[in-house]
Structure 1
Amino acid sequence: MLDLRWVADLKDSQMKELLSPPTDCRVGQNHNQSKLWNLTEFHLAGLDITDCSLALMTRHMPMLNKLDLSQCNHVTDQSIALLTAPGSSTRETLSEINLSGCHRITDQCLLLLKHCPNLTRIDLRNCKLISPQACQQLVEGLANVAPFELLEDKLLRRSLQLTK
């Protein structure tokens, strides 16, 4: 787990340095792998990052399963499209995503998140452009595949109940 929440002045350029494979290879080190290759949990709340950083994450963090992007003002539906694109490692590995307070994402992101088969928790609280109706439609649309429940307004969790 790496927690970089609210680190002042951490932007895409620093994220690129952090996420990209090292330029100086040492014996026994895979020159194509990021230092964060095996990281499973990444907290980036409140950072000024864009799709550039998210694209690097999908390429260089194949084990990532918990991602906190809450209060990241530049996260958009396009950002979610990067994370859920066919061939993206995060599409298959993400189990939890926190997008609370991301004011640029819309109901469209819910259609994209449906492509992540291992998601168990989606936090969309304080996302002004996400409607409660769209959350309810997602829950109903996934009822036969992966039953979800609305714990509270815009907080979705995979139901522990077994379907018949």
Structure 2
Amino acid sequence: MAFFHTRKYVYFNAALLFLLVIVWCVSSTHLVVRSFREEPHLFYGTLSHASIPSLFGGTDIPFLDKTYFQINGDKDVTFVLYATGEMNEILSEWYDFADVDAASIPLEIWASRVKDNLFVVQSISTSEGGLEWEELADYMVGNLLIVAGIVLFCFIGMVVFVILGIKTKIPRARYKGHA
């Protein structure tokens, strides 16, 4: 079983692992990147539905810990709020998505369209308070830079392992000739 006795395949598997990390990072941040390029729209309404993904909800993992919500009973449009646990605590002082009275409090939302029916929140406020664009942008840009560093590190690692995999020679089995 010479297949398992070479490093060539280990190098290619490590490169594949780095590629998967890159794809995961890009897929979890592409909506935020698109939100910076799009023009924000203003929405007024009341909350009709809110959800926090249970797998990463409350973990403070950037771009995975987010809140999805809908306003005015419109099930075709969804808003995504990317915020830290600390920001959510500040938000809960004047607006709590889980509160019974949340549906009666009017919201003002600035959000960028990233897909036909999906908007990334840039600012959210009520008469009691709000999360402004500067706070959310600082969080998003800071974490985008961290993710960019991770992607760069993984890309360099992937290239190194691909080069090592290409340069490594597979040992040839020695056969004894019949005399």
TM-score, normalising length from structure 2?
0.25
Instruction: Considering Cα pairs closer than 8 Å and 6+ residues apart, tell me whether 1 or 2 has the greater RCO.
Output: 2
Normalised to the residue count of structure 1, the TM-score between the two structures is 0.26
Tell me which structure has the larger Cα radius of gyration: 2
Task: Return the structure number with greater helix share.
Answer: 2
